[in-house]
Amino acid sequence: MTTQRTLILLKPDAVQRSLRGEILRRIEAKGYEITALAQRTATAEELAAHYAEHEGKPFYAPLVEYMGSAPLVAVVAEGEGVIEGFRSLAGSTNPTSAAPGTIRGDLGREWDLPVIQNLVHGSDSPESAAREIEIWFPGLA
């Protein structure tokens, strides 16, 4: 394994439900180092760049609207295999079927909401991580 960096977003539902501390605790308990952190409301430009590959899909507009509707927390985490490790820690996308012990399995709510409110986002590859970190923390990538 090699040391990696990943972007993690604590989505508006995580912030609104006051789950920041618990989610960050789990990231650090897993042995990952938080090297950058910012809470803010995302701009339209950040969201368009972040979700560019989904533009034109039916869920794109509601997702971008939801992600910009309230503050979120952007995090850069580092560690051995952090990309795969965080995605495992997050659990499957659907909170209803996410395994117990995962962020979504323990803290997530029902799937049948207008937009997927599943608490967190994690980069899916080193390439995505580099691109996403540059969007949320310009100059850090």
Q: Say whether 94 counts as a known binding-site residue.
A: no
* Residue 140 per-residue DSSP state: T
Q: Say whether 5 counts as a known binding-site residue.
A: no
Question: Does 50 participate in catalysis according to the annotation?
Answer: no
Closest Cα to residue 132, out of 1, 4, 30, 9?
A: 9
Contact 78, 4 (CB under 8 A): yes
Contact 87, 122 (CB under 8 A): yes
Contact 120, 104 (CB under 8 A): yes
Q: Say whether 87 counts as a known binding-site residue.
A: yes
Q: Say whether 25 counts as a known binding-site residue.
A: no
Residue owning tokens 């990952």? 32
Active-site residue identified among 5, 26, 50, 121: 121
Q: Say whether 11 counts as a known binding-site residue.
A: yes
Q: Say whether 26 counts as a known binding-site residue.
A: no
Catalytic residues: 121
Annotated binding site: 11, 59, 87, 93, 104, 118
Annotated binding site for ATP: 11, 59, 87, 93, 104, 118
